Structure 1
Amino acid sequence: SELYDPATGIWTKMDNVNIRREEHTASVLANGKVLVAGGSFNDGYSFWGPLNSSELYDPATGDWTKTGNMNLARIGQTASVLINGKVLVAGGSVYDGYLNSSELYDSATGIWTKTGTMNLERYGHTASVLPNGKVLVAGGYGGYDGYSYWRDLSSSELYDPITGIWTKTGNMNLGRYHHTASVLANGKVLVAGGSFNDGYDHWGPLNSSELYDPATGNWTKMGKMNLARYGHTASVLTNGKVLVAGGTVFNEQGFWEILNSAELYDPSTGLWTKTDNMTAGRYYHRASVLTSGKVLVTGGLHSFSSVELYQ
């Protein structure tokens, strides 16, 4: 692991995590520590698999310490920090399929406990903490959605931290996975891009976006992005706009193209406009909004060690 200092722009090596992992989650807790959970180990040869382990990073010491194991190993799950400070982990995949289970981490005890089961198995979904404290899970790839098994999902559901129960809410207009979800200043949730997959032979990236209204439980189509993309990032800026960057798409020759383009969503108009390109194409990267309002973009395929700032 390494630490970025926005004041100097310098990265510093920190202690290694106890277990190497990918497709895990990382959550900043109320006490400032960072909880890393699940994901997959991969030795670079023939051994890989899901992990149930979790560990904590302490910024005060720079150390990683092991904490409680999840009840189930899982890859590609979501993790949401609830208003009560607990962390909700939901869905993901294992060796033989996808998960509908969820569990809670209590930072006071370091213990994971099982909580409600989602209505569908999901992988590559999104989870958004709403202003009312509930968690909106949308889309993904997984369970039976009225047509076939193991396809994109248009369904969404809500987790209530008070009852621990999941309830269905409105369906998106399009099924999608590996999309992004952003909670806007007005409390609505913007979902953008991702990939469709009908469970047979048809799949590909999307340029569509839609908006979830917690007051009604309905999804409304919004403007289309200038480019279809999945594996991108979405960052809510201090001015309320949403910056989408990178991802991948089929080009005109029918080959995968890694994107360096970026665009902005304006909640006041519902429209997308192009903005400055990144210096390198990347997907499955990470984007972090700094306290200065700048956006730090790191890594991704195939720009593993490079870093850039949007301002």
Structure 2
Amino acid sequence: MRTTILWLLCPILSSAAPQLKPAHALAVGTSATLDGVRLDMIAAKPSVAEVVLAAIPRDGWTVTCDSSQPGNDCSNAIDDNSDTFWLTDSGAPLPHSIVVDMKTTRIVGNITIQPRQDNTPNGHIGEHQVFLSEDGENWGSPIAIGTYLDDANLKTTIFTPANARYVKVTSLSEAGGRDSSMSLAELNVYEGTALPPSPATAGSWGLTIDFPVIPVSAAIEWSSGRLLVWSSFSPSNFVGDSGHQTSTAIYDPATQLVSARTITNTNHDMFCEGLSMDAEGRIVAVGGNSDYGTSIYDSTSDSWTAGGDLKIPRGYQSQATLSDGRLFTIGASWSGGSSTDTPKNGEIYDTATNTWTALPGCPVTPMLTSDPEDKSLGHIYRGDNHGWLFGWKDGSVFQAGPAVAMNWYGTDGTGSQSAAGSRASDTDSMCGNAIMYDAVAGSILTLGGAPNYVNSYSTANAHIITLSDPNVPPTVTTLPSMAFPRAFHNSIILPNGQVFITGGQHLAIGFTDQTPQLIPELFDPTTQSFTQMAPLSIPRNYHSTGLLLPDATVFNGGGGLCGDCAANHFDAQIYSPAYLFNPDGSAATRPMIESLSAAELAPGASLTVQTSGPEVTAFALVRLSSTTHTVNTDQRRIALERGEGGTVTLPADPGVALPGYWYLFALAEGGVPSLAKFVKVTTG
């Protein structure tokens, strides 16, 4: 049997309207109207980076397992019959493993697991590990880990291509906790593309993490370094009766375990929320499917609590933490009615009192894009989505995009607004990225995006915006373009000041793997140039996420959330930048931060850092961050000079050194980073 996964032919929806019902699909080149929303299906130009994976024929394969019941032998897992299945012996303790021998070494790129199809869930694989081997004895570290969703749908685990003759799947838990069994109906192994390039120059994609939810939103827990992700009321869908709950999961890098939890106590479906981390490092999710709600996650207690309701219902907004610790949000007509009827002007959140206050002096109109979908609908729906917001000096907010027009917003009293000029000759750049890679210099890098939210070709445009004081128009520098046009991509600040740009697609259409950009790029602010990095194995388009982890690697995951569509990606991969490798590809020796004179300090204060290992040439602060729908207003970097005795001094302005938790990295020659220590910057 030969099976092909073709990532170019899945259904595509042009509008992510909250009224849509699941499982509606249209043929390419057609259109229809559903609940008053027009859905256009247009043909996409093929990308140079198209991925076709074929199942390896199982002729002559053999399989072994640790346990099986009579009649449910492990050979059933490769018999091309989904009506039969392998099931471990009753009472046999976990973990359980199954090993296939393909008889010859191949380049392997992914596996699929078909759970048993007899309407009995016992034995569904939960926590698991996937190993590859060329000799069946030396397995090394797992190439993939995680937890599968507890259902009978096909499970796909994609990983960086590698040579293997043997594939082993180990189940560490039964998905529903019902017993200690493991079962599966069919196990297929798929051909991989070419082996990856040398990590010394291109970096390296490593561990795949399978989640029981699609990681549409993600944030870092400062107290543990764990990664919190969530989708919507459902692990795989955002439309329907939400029940005002959110499906979440936590990945612990220390244990490599993934746990799931459904949040019901805040009565909030957090999909398409505004998102930022407050001055105490709490994760604050606002609006979305539940358009008035506020939910706050405290990592020290591992708990969610409800905050105050918005004054204006909204979803698809951006939200930024300010120099005084308050939170500002604006825009978002995707949920809660149109800004045409109730303008989605700014409002401010006081986390101490849990109250939102409207700012009528912060109008949304100056930051609107010119999206034709708004014109066809007769009201604002797309034009006020996903603002590029940056908290700055004196409680101000700078809006850098995605509209060509830029603006300053003030948050005192009832608020204020002043125009800040245009982003040079750029187009509207919806679902592009904006990253404050040098907060001391006020430097913001903008990348890509598309003129319209959907049915629009993205650009490769790149600019640097340099801020000075509030209400002063910034300078805008046009850079040479990226190698690839991108929308729905993610851009992550690295400890050395470079920016890693991953994923996205050429033609901006939600819920499809069409036209993926599988080759990441690295922006070097010193040369102001882009370099291509090791290719992705998995498309990361609409609803993908990307964050810097405490060990200076990058998390990149998600995509989809469209019911049973082929664009759903319940997974992530970890990217190790080239600074973690020697010229021969071996692991670089990293400096270590042994101790800090303080873990909490005010802007302008000094900190003494004791290190060991390679000589440290500099330090850097990178703010912990949260992201959803290409928006990450939290992340920014501060370069710190190494003073006498390892002393560093923070910038004195809290608009530069925003309150909250930051990673502190020590950097050796070549920008090799230490593991991060967590430092809290107070409001002063």
User: Could you state the TM-score of these two structures normalised by the residue count of structure 1?
Assistant: 0.80
Does residue 308 of structure 1 match 2:499?
no
Q: Give the aligned partner of residue 418 of structure 2.
A: 220
What pairs up with 1:289-300 in 2 under 5 angstroms?
289-300=493-504
Shift of 1:183: 2.6
Which residue, 134, 154, 162 being the options, matches 2:352? 162
CA distance in 2, matches of 1:190, 1:211: 5
Q: Would you say how many aligned residue pairs link Structure 1 and Structure 2?
A: 284
SS in 1 for 2:404: coil
| Aligned 8 A contact 1:299 1:305 in 2 | yes
After TM superposition, give the deviation of residue 8 of structure 1 in Å.
6.7
CA distance in 2, matches of 1:185, 1:10: 38
Output the CA distance in 1 between the equivalents of 2:357 and 2:202: 46
SS of residue paired to 1:292:
coil
Counterpart Cα distance in 2 of 1:83 and 1:285: 27
In structure 2, the residue matched to 1:192 is: 400
Question: What are the residue-to-residue correspondences of 1:65-144 with 2, within 5 Å?
Answer: 65-67=259-261, 69-70=263-264, 71-93=267-289, 99-141=291-333, 142-143=335-336
Task: Considering Cα pairs closer than 8 Å and 6+ residues apart, tell me whether 1 or 2 has the greater RCO.
Answer: 2
Aligned: 1:286 with 2:286:
no
Query: 1:12: which partner in 2?
Result: 206
The residue identity in structure 2 corresponding to 1:188 is S
Tell whether 2:437 aligns with 1:244.
no
2:236 is the alignment partner of 1:28: no
Q: 2:405 aligns with which of 178, 201, 208?
A: 208
1:33-52 alignment, distance < 5 Å: 33-39=226-232, 41-42=235-236, 52=246
Letter aligned with residue 272 of structure 2 = G
Q: 1:49 to 1:244 in 2, by over 3 A?
A: farther
1:230 match: 430
2:460 to 257, 260, 274: 260
Q: 1:241 to 1:26 in 2, by over 3 A?
A: same
Per the alignment, residue 198 of structure 1 pairs with: none
Counterpart of 2:319 in 1: which secondary structure? strand
Task: Please state whether the residue corresponding to 2:484 is helix, strand or coil.
Answer: coil
C-alpha change, 1:265 and 1:17, in structure 2 (3 Å) is same
Q: Is the 8 A contact 1:134 1:159 kept in 2?
A: yes
Structure 2 letter corresponding to 1:122? R
- 1:91-134 deviation per Cα after TM superposition (whole angstroms, max 9, x unaligned): 112xxxx6111111122333222110001111111110112111
Q: Deviations over 1:157-207 (max 9, x none)?
A: 11111100000123235242222112346653221334xxxxxxxxxxx31
Hey, what's the Cα distance between the residues in 2 that align with 1:244 and 1:56?
30
Deviation per residue, 1:236-282 (Å, 9 max, x gap): 021321111110016xxxx7221111111121351322112111111
Amino acid corresponding to residue 496 of structure 2 in structure 1: S
Q: Is the 8 A contact 1:235 1:289 kept in 2?
A: yes
Are 1:145 and 1:155, in contact at CA under 8 Å, matched by a contact in 2? no
- Bigger Cα displacement from structure 2, 5-14 vs 52-61: 5-14
Residue ranges of structure 2 left out of the alignment (5+ in a row): 1-145, 147-158, 161-198, 369-383, 506-514, 525-684
Match of 1:56 in 2: 250
In the alignment, the residues of structure 2 paired with residue 305 and residue 48 of structure 1 have an alpha-carbon distance, to the nearest angstrom, of 32
Partner SS for 2:481: coil
Code of the residue aligned with 2:330 in structure 1: it is: A
Structure 1 gaps of 5+ residues are 195-205
What is the rounded CA distance, in whole Å, between the counterparts of 2:210 and 2:411 in structure 1? 40
1:179, 1:231 within 8 Å by CA — same for their partners in 2? no
**Relative to 1, partners in 2 of residues 1:65 and 1:41: Cα closer, same or farther, differing over 3 Å?**
closer
| Alpha carbons of structure 1 residues 222 and 101: separation in structure 2 relative to 1, 3 Å | same
Deviation at 1:68, TM superposition (A): 5.3
Whether the 8 Å CA contact 1:232–1:284 is kept in 2: the answer is yes
Matched to 1:162, the amino acid is A
Q: Hey, which of these two has a bigger chunk of strand by percent? A: 1
Q: Tell me if the contact between 2:323 and 2:394 (Cα under 8 Å) persists in the aligned partners.
A: no
Task: Flag the 1:145–1:210 CA change in 2: closer, same or farther, 3 A.
Answer: same
| Matches of 1:284 and 1:146, distance apart in 2 | 23
Which secondary structure does the structure 2 equivalent of 1:53 belong to?
Answer: strand
Secondary structure, aligned partner of 2:399: strand
Which residue in the other structure is 1:183 paired with? 391
Higher mean Cα deviation, 232-241 or 57-66?
Answer: 57-66
Task: Give the counterpart letter for 1:125 in structure 2.
Answer: Q
Q: C-alpha separation between the residues in 1 aligned to 2:322 and 2:200?
A: 29
Check whether the contact 2:214–2:230 (CA below 8 A) recurs between aligned residues.
no
SS of residue paired to 2:451: strand
The secondary structure found in structure 2 opposite 1:171 is: coil
Alpha carbons of structure 1 residues 279 and 72: separation in structure 2 relative to 1, 3 Å: same
How far off is 1:306 after superposition?
Answer: 2.5
Alpha-carbon distance change, 184 to 127 in structure 1, aligned in 2, over 3 angstroms: same
Separation of aligned partners in 1, 2:218 and 2:392: 21
Q: 1:246–1:258: 8 Å Cα contact kept in structure 2? A: yes
**Distance in structure 2 (CA, Å) of the matches to 1:276 and 1:81:** 33
- 1:308 partner letter: E
Equivalent pair of 2:390/2:399 in contact (CA under 8 Å):
yes
Maintained 8 Å contact 2:348/2:411: no
Secondary structure of residue in 2 paired with 1:249: coil
2-structure distance, mates of 1:232, 1:296: 14
Whole-Å Cα distance in 1 between the matches of residues 210 and 295 of structure 2?
26
CA distance in 2, matches of 1:6, 1:267: 35
Identity over the aligned pairs, expressed in percent? 22
Do the aligned partners of residues 48 and 275 (structure 1) sit closer, same or farther apart at CA in structure 2, a change above 3 Å counting?
farther
Counterpart residue number, 1:201 = none
1:171 aligns with 2:362: yes
Distance (whole Å) between structure 1 residues aligned to residue 219 and residue 332 of structure 2: 20
Change (3 A) 1:62 1:304: farther
Superposition TM-score, scaled by structure 2 size: 0.38
RMSD: 3.0
Looking at structure 2, the residues matched to 17 and 81 of structure 1 have their Cα atoms a distance apart, in angstroms, of 23
